[in-house]
Amino acid sequence: MKVLVTGFEPFDREKINPSYEIVKALPDKWGKIEVIKKEVPVLYGEAIKVVVEEMRKNDADIVIMIGQAKGRASITVERVAINVNDSKTPDNSKKILKGAPVVEGGPVGYFSTLPIYDIVKALKRIKIPVKISNTAGTFLCNSLFYGVMHEISTKKLNISAGFIHVPYLPLQALKSPDVPSMSLDLMIKGVRKAIEVSVKKIRITKNK
């Protein structure tokens, strides 16, 4: 089964983004899982185009998008993406959007089609801090999540997809000692387990 896993480039004066560091560290293949890796630009609109193109080019069965969430202490599996871009933080072209829809005329939101409860249970079993999140924010992470789900929904693609946020790396937290962080090794272990659970559950569903 082909799994497209994406992470973002650094932004907001950061020199590293844990989301893509995790993606780079994943094996290309294990068992029946083939991982396609992609770094995503922190650019409104362009981020969606890049992932949709990669998803179609590689005929992905599953898309798992990853992003950093400053201030979160756990891996957070996102439940829903909403149709709004609204943030004080500029993208990497210095664009700031306030209350703009991700897709003009699109529905209010889309739910993840990953097995979010199973992922959380599996990560807890291997002692990794994790929880379900009901907000992916209103910046690029949510924008990408919404855009990809909209493409899948409107084109009726047989693809399961969703978004996972990860904490800062300890290196990033050095500048802000009160900001939670998690080791790269632990985050890699968590994302790998999320992939395995998704492949297992989604394969069962598709075979029914």
Separation CA 47–CA 151 (nearest Å) = 13
The predicted pLDDT at position 177 comes to: 79
10-residue averages of pLDDT along the chain (208 residues): 97 95 97 97 98 97 97 98 97 97 98 98 98 98 98 97 98 89 98 97 67
The predicted pLDDT at position 205 comes to: 61
Count of all residues that appear for the chain in the document: 208
CATH class, 2-207 region? alpha beta
The predicted pLDDT at position 175 comes to: 83
Residues 122/197, Cβ–Cβ less than 8 Å: yes
Locate the domains of the chain by residue range. Answer: 2-207
Whole-angstrom CA distances from 199 to 41, 96, 147 are 26, 36, 22
Question: How many helices (H) and strands (E) would you count in the chain?
Answer: 6, 9
The predicted pLDDT at position 167 comes to: 98
Residues 6+ apart with CB under 8 A from 28: 34, 35, 37
The predicted pLDDT at position 176 comes to: 82
Separation CA 34–CA 36 (nearest Å) = 7
The predicted pLDDT at position 161 comes to: 98
Catalytic residue numbers read 78, 141, 165
Separation CA 182–CA 66 (nearest Å) = 15
